[in-house]
Amino acid sequence: MSLLHSLARALDRVSPAPIAYAHCDIPCGIYDPHHAQLAAHTVVRMVDLINQLEKPGPNATAEQRQEYTNKLTRYIATKEQHSEIAKSELRILWADYFKPDHLKTFPELHDTMWKALKTASKARQEINLQAAEDLLKATNDVASMFWKTKGFETITAKAPYPTERQTVYPKFK
Amino acid sequence: MTAARMFPFTRFRVEDESMRPTLEPGDYVFVNRWAYRFQSTKRGDLVVVRDPEASERFLVKRVSDATGPTEVQLAGDNRIASRDSRAFGPVPLERIVGKVWIRLKR
């Protein structure tokens, strides 16, 4: 921060500077692809948990079956919810955030979004790790486009969650 | 503001992202309100204007084309995140507050 900038800020306390907007849109929306990415991670995690769940054998007791059914149902319910959250978040970005101008920079935008939504439906319908991974990849692709439109570079790093999948993050300055 | 009008320079604080990387949110610009008394607008000038869509608000944009003697086209440097003349058309010169004279980076 420069000295002159600090002076201007100090001056703001006496007489606030009017704001000149380098304006994008009104309502100036608050958008972030992270919600979609997070929901996709949850879907991946639920498929992992379902696959790790030990199935009750022929001699399992009623309690063991009940416990299995309870866990499986909870994982499936969460997978349902979060596939839908991912779809909803993707739709918001697609319909509200991205503008026709973005298409000039990212001609693949519509196709990526459309496939992402289809993949989310597949991940919701099935216990399918590949579909869940594809959904996460699709949200990452959307995140890279999103952050580029905001003027930020992105990095791809291992997520600090049990899923540990590669995730796109913005490189804030 | 009346007393300030005696003096050509006025400062604005920048908000939003359409002028990245030239201007970042939080930067200050000092604007010369008399700049266009002695010269005409040129393509490439950074200007503060009254928003054609909301007069009480100021915008900072770049002149992308000095289309005629009475109006200019404005654009944001960050084209893919800017609402500008592509959306609201050319802007009458009388809406220009002044030319950006100094930028203070955050």
Distances (CA, A) of A172 to A51, A147, A150, A152, B25: 37, 10, 10, 7, 13
Strand-pair category, B9-15 with A19-21: parallel
Task: Report the domain count for chain A.
Answer: 1
B16/A23 CB distance under 8 A: yes
Give the pLDDT of residue B86. 84
Of B12, B25, B61, the CB nearest to A17: B12
Distance between CA atoms of residues B68 and B41, nearest Å: 10
Average pLDDT over residues B64-80: 86
**pLDDT, tens digit, for every residue of A69-117?**
999 999 999 999 999 999 999 998 998 888 887 888 999 999 999 999 9
CATH of the domain at A69: 1.20.120.400
Of B13, B80, B104, the CB nearest to A101: B80
A22/B11 CB distance under 8 A: no
Q: Which residues pair with B59 in a beta bridge?
A: A21, B49
> What ipTM goes with this model?
0.84
Average pLDDT over residues B38-52: 92
Q: Is residue A4 part of a domain?
A: no
Q: Is residue A51 part of a domain?
A: yes
Give the pLDDT of residue A29. 66
- A9, B26 Cβ separation under 8 angstroms: no
Q: Where are the alpha helices (DSSP H) in B1-106?
A: 35-38, 85-88
Give the domain extent around A155. 33-170
Average pLDDT, chain B: 87
Higher-confidence position of A87 and A12: A87
pLDDT above 50 (res A27): no
The domain ranges of chain B are 3-104
pLDDT above 90 (res A62): yes
Distance between CA atoms of residues B103 and A149, nearest Å: 23
pLDDT above 90 (res B100): yes
B44 interface with A at CB cutoff 8 Å: no
* Domain B3-104, CATH class in plain words: mainly beta
